Structure 1
Amino acid sequence: MKAVIQCGGKGTRLRPYTMVLPKPLMPVASKPVLELLLSWLRRNNIRDVYITTGYLGHLIKSFCKDGEQWNLRIRYTEEREPLGTIGPLCMLKDELDEPFMVINGDVLTDLSLSSFAEYHRRQGNLVTVATKLRRTKTEFGVIEQTGGRIKSFKEKPVLTNLVSMGIYCMDPGVLSYIPMGLPFGFDDLILCLLAEGVPTGTFLHDGLWLDIGRIEDFQTAQSLEWDEQSPAFEEVAVVA
């Protein structure tokens, strides 16, 4: 299976650090996020990788080169103008001729890609989204009211939501929904598929997932110990 890693974003949530380094090259312990991500793909038996680049893309190309150091074959696309999170796939229409993975370049996870891909195949979806239950503490007291009178009050409640992990399994047919050369995000794609009644699904992951673009997750990643001998990923254990 082929994988596309989206690395064209500007990483605004991690500024000022990302003014000199693209987000995928931000260090976690002693290694860039992208290196950990590529090692995880290799351990999940991925061989062919496409990296979409834009902002500071020359640094990503200089670091990864052709992927030989990870026993991968890496090729690149380059955005002259930002194309959003899904738009860059339009440049790979001739390459993605079988089910493929699309992965944000700022995630760390122990998700089994073989289990994910098999689930996608069995369900018959055009797109399957890897998801995680995430608990979020709101910053404000939440009021419910009717006709201007308070009915209930919760002080900074914790909400649980099913969120996208930024990892997707897609069939090649999805490429026909992606416009050529125009900004197009994953939200645009999902809304388009839902409007057309195209089968889309979710795959719930109960293991590790960190979104390095969030300051909190980036800091959490620094407090973890990364074991390079893990068969599935750089296995993680909290440092005592």
Structure 2
Amino acid sequence: MKAIIQCGGRVRRLMPYAMVLPKPLMPVGSRPVLELLIGWLRRNGISEVIITTGYLGCLIKTLFGDGSAWGISISYTEETEPLGTIGQLSLLRDILDEPFIVLNGDVLTDLNLSRMIGFHHRMEAAVTIATVARQTKLDFGVLDGLPNACIQGFREKPHLTHFVSMGIYCLQPSVIRYIPREVPYGFDDLILRLLAHRAPVFSFQHDGFWLDIGHTDDFRKAQELSCNDLPPAFETMGELEGTSVA
């Protein structure tokens, strides 16, 4: 199975760091996020990776090359113009002829990818989205009840729990026909279009470790970690033949 790692975006939330390095090269301990991610994919049985590049993509290509140092095959695409969060797949329409993984290049997780892929096949899903529970604290008191009616309850600055996308997806190749060629297109656009066509879209819940380095709070958490602090799924990542880009 192929994995597509999306590394073409530029996140202003991480300025000024992102002026020097693309998100996937932000360090966690002594290693870039992307190196840990590639190691995680290899440990989950993925042998072929396609990295979509854009902003500062030359740095990624220089550091990771063809992937042989990590025992994995790496090839690249390049956006001449931003294509949104899923539009890059239109560049790969001719080579994605079996189910494949798409993931953001700035996530860290110990998700069991094999279980997710197995779930995707059992459900005969068009798309399976890895999800995790996240809490959001509201800075306001929340009233329960209808407007202009008797108040039924009051919650002071509650924490609300939502299941959010982890930025990791399993897709059928038939999904690509819904993505327009070489124009900006978001993952939200794709999912809404699939739902409108009653395509089977499933979520796969993960209860373990997950950080999205593109968000400031998670980036700060990552800086507090050393590679020894990461979950066991990361223990030997990036250490094949003693090699590291760091």
Q: TM-score range by the shorter chain?
A: over 0.9
Contact 2:109–2:208 (CA under 8 A) maintained in structure 1: yes
State, as a whole percentage, how many aligned pairs show the same letter. Answer: 60
Distance 1:99 1:227 in 2: 33
Aligned residue number for residue 211 of structure 2: 210
1:77 counterpart = 2:81: no
The correspondence of residues 1-240 of structure 1 with structure 2, limited to 5 A, is 1-144=1-144, 146-147=147-148, 152-227=153-228, 232-234=233-235
Distance 1:7 1:128 in 2: 21
* Alignment size in residue pairs: 235
Distance verdict in 2 for CA 1:51–1:96, change over 3 Å = same
Distance 1:60 1:107 in 2: 16
Distance 2:173 2:211 in 1: 27
Contact 1:43–1:231 (CA under 8 A) maintained in structure 2: no
- Which SS does the other structure have where 1:146 is aligned? coil
Give the deviation of 1:94 after TM superposition: 1.5
Query: So what's the TM-score if we normalise by structure 1?
Result: 0.92
Q: State the structure with bigger RCO (CA 8 A, min sep 6), 1 or 2.
A: 2
Distance verdict in 2 for CA 1:234–1:90, change over 3 Å = farther
Query: So what's the TM-score if we normalise by structure 2?
Result: 0.90
Give the deviation of 1:128 after TM superposition: 0.3
What's the Cα RMSD here? 1.9
Identify the range of structure 1 (119-128 vs 14-23) with the bigger mean alpha-carbon deviation: 14-23
- Which SS does the other structure have where 1:51 is aligned? strand
Aligned residue number for residue 238 of structure 1: none
Give ranges in structure 2 of 5+ residues lacking alignment: 237-246
Q: Residue 133 of structure 2 aligns to which amino acid in structure 1?
A: L
Contact 1:120–1:128 (CA under 8 A) maintained in structure 2: yes
Give ranges in structure 1 of 5+ residues lacking alignment: 236-240
Distance 1:45 1:162 in 2: 27
Deviations 1:173-208 (Å, cap 9, x if unpaired)?
A: 011111001101110000000001011101001111
Contact 2:30–2:227 (CA under 8 A) maintained in structure 1: no
Distance 2:46 2:103 in 1: 12
Distance 2:39 2:107 in 1: 13
Contact 1:87–1:181 (CA under 8 A) maintained in structure 2: yes
Contact 1:129–1:201 (CA under 8 A) maintained in structure 2: yes
Distance 2:150 2:31 in 1: 54
Distance 1:231 1:121 in 2: 27
Contact 2:110–2:231 (CA under 8 A) maintained in structure 1: no
Q: Residue 88 of structure 1 aligns to which amino acid in structure 2?
A: Q
